[in-house]
Each structure stands twice: as C-alpha cells, then as structure tokens.
Amino acid sequence: MFEKEYVSARIKAMNGQLLNKEKLESLNQIKTSDEFISALHKSAYEKNITSINEKTSTNLNMNFFDSINKISAFMPKTFNHDMKIIESMWDFENLKTILYTIYAKKDTINLKKTIYPKGIIYETFIQSKITSIEELGNMLKNTNYYESFMIGYTTYKNTKQICDITYALQKQYFNLHKKTKTKEISDFFKTFFELEDFQTITKLKKRNLKLKDTYLYFPKKTDEIKTKYEKLLNKELPLKKSKENYLLKYSKRKIQENPFSFFLVIDYMIKKRQEILHLQSITRGVIA
C-alpha cells in the first residue's frame, strides 16, 4: 500500500502543476506572443516557452513527454512494461502522419519539426530523407514495425488504398496493447479502441456511406464490420462529446472505485495532453 500511496502523492503533486480552468480561459484572450509568454511565467511551461516560433509546438510536446518520463521514474517496476506499451502510441501516430503526408504527395521535410519528438520512428525519421512509401518501408527494416508495414504494403500495391497499410499497423498496435499486464490498463484500452471505432462508425453514418464503402475505414471482412457497426450503435456512448472527455470521466469513475488505481496516471496523462493541445491551438493564433 505504501508504494501505491507514494505514487498517488506524486501524481497529486503533478496535478497541482496543471493550469486551472480560469487560467486556461484567460489564455484564450491573448493576442501577442509576449502576452502568452508572460502568462506562462512560473508555470510548468516556463522553460519550454521563451518565444513563439516553429519549434513551439514541439517544445510543448516535449513538456508532455518529460512528464511521462517523470511518471516512469517513480512508478513501481510492475508498471514499467505497460508504460512502454502506452508510450508506443507516439510511434504509431508518427507513422500515420508520415504515411498520409507521402500519400498526399506533400513534402515530408517539415514533418521533422512537427511530428511527436518521441520513439524509434521519430529518431529514425529525422535522420532519413523519405519521399516515397517504398523508402519508408526501407526505413522501418530495423524496427518492430517492418513486418506489419510489409503485410499492408503487399495489399496496397494492388489496391492503392493507404488504409491497407495503416490498418496493418493499427492491428499490430491493438495486439501490442493486449499484452499489458495490468488489468486496469487492459480495460482502459479496450474502452479506448471501442470508442475510436464507435466515433468512426458514427462519422460514416452521418455521411450516409453504404456498408461496402466502410472498407476505406475498416479494411476487414464485411460481416465483421456489420457486426461491429450494429453492436456499437446500440451502446450508450457519447455522440457529441470528445473521446478524451469520455475517457476522462471513465477514469474518474475508476478512481472513485479505487483511489490508488493506475487510473490516477491515466487521468493525469489525459488532462495534461488536453492542456498541451489547448496551448498549441492558442499559439497558432498568437501574433508572433
């Protein structure tokens, strides 16, 4: 219990460093970079924000990853394995961003400044010059993502549908999270992935897409899609609320059930991520 109480106290202290609601709302009124920098004086972001430029978004992301590193340092060893799996999401997010950029025939050079500065994909990509999907495959040869990429790429060569590659990578991502050793984390990601599917299905319904067209979003057998489609539409999940807000409420319910559960960490990470995204949106509108 002492170990859990210690973790709880550390997370509580980190929560205390988050910006309160009033502070976040006041930031929305800021018009200049000087005002923004001044407003974050003596906050957890002071060292990351000394000016507003093309590196600001990356610096804010680094603040988030620094928080994750702090958590990993004081978490019990039993959670280290699962924390690594949680952190793998940045590899997959970066891979998808790179893939979509190449598929849209856009320049990938600027991506080195904007993708998440975390993980093996980031470290490998910034040292490479990737202009095609084939070159991306070569870049992945010495990573754990190569096999999944090639499975998707083999199908892609016939269909020219980029979702064939992203689905193969996504499947690896799902399977990786099945290896979590903590039931709380396993339950969380089951809800997380189900909610992602639900939101995608909701978008498809609003667009009045026929079931056969859902291949573009769920490249699986049609009967599997139909089953998931019908099952998820019958569940009481939010249509208008964001995925993050739903997961935040889900985590808070779990914390009420067990004040020392791992959901303390998940709750903090979601709030921290939302805060970072909010700050990034403000910087885009600030006059530098």
Could you report the per-residue pLDDT of 135-167, keeping only the tens digit for each?
999 999 988 899 999 999 998 998 888 888 888
DSSP 132: S
Q: Which two tokens stand for residue 34?
A: 């000087």
Domain span at 230: 2-285
The total number of structural domains that make up the chain = 1
Q: Which two tokens stand for residue 57?
A: 């978004």
The Cβ of residue 253 has, within 10 Å, a number of other Cβ atoms equal to 10
Query: Rounded to a whole number, what is the distance in angstroms from the first to the last CA of the chain?
Result: 49
Q: In the prediction, which pLDDT does 275 show?
A: 92
Query: Which residue type sits at 203?
Result: K
Q: In the prediction, which pLDDT does 102 show?
A: 92
The burial class, CB within 10 Å (0-12 / 13-18 / 19+), for 257 is exposed
In whole angstroms, how far apart are CA 73 and each of 10, 125, 258? 11, 27, 22
Question: How sure is the predictor about 242, in pLDDT bands with cuts at 50, 70 and 90?
Answer: low
Phi-psi map region of 204: left, alpha, beta (phi>0 left; psi -120 to 50 alpha): alpha
Q: In the prediction, which pLDDT does 221 show?
A: 47
Whether 70 shows a pLDDT value over 50: the answer reads yes
* pTM score, whole prediction: 0.74
Whether 29 shows a pLDDT value over 70: the answer reads yes
Whole-number Å distance between alpha carbons of 266 and 19: 17
Average pLDDT over residues 247-270: 86
Question: How sure is the predictor about 98, in pLDDT bands with cuts at 50, 70 and 90?
Answer: very high
Q: In the prediction, which pLDDT does 17 show?
A: 93
Q: Which two tokens stand for residue 70?
A: 């702090």
DSSP 287: B
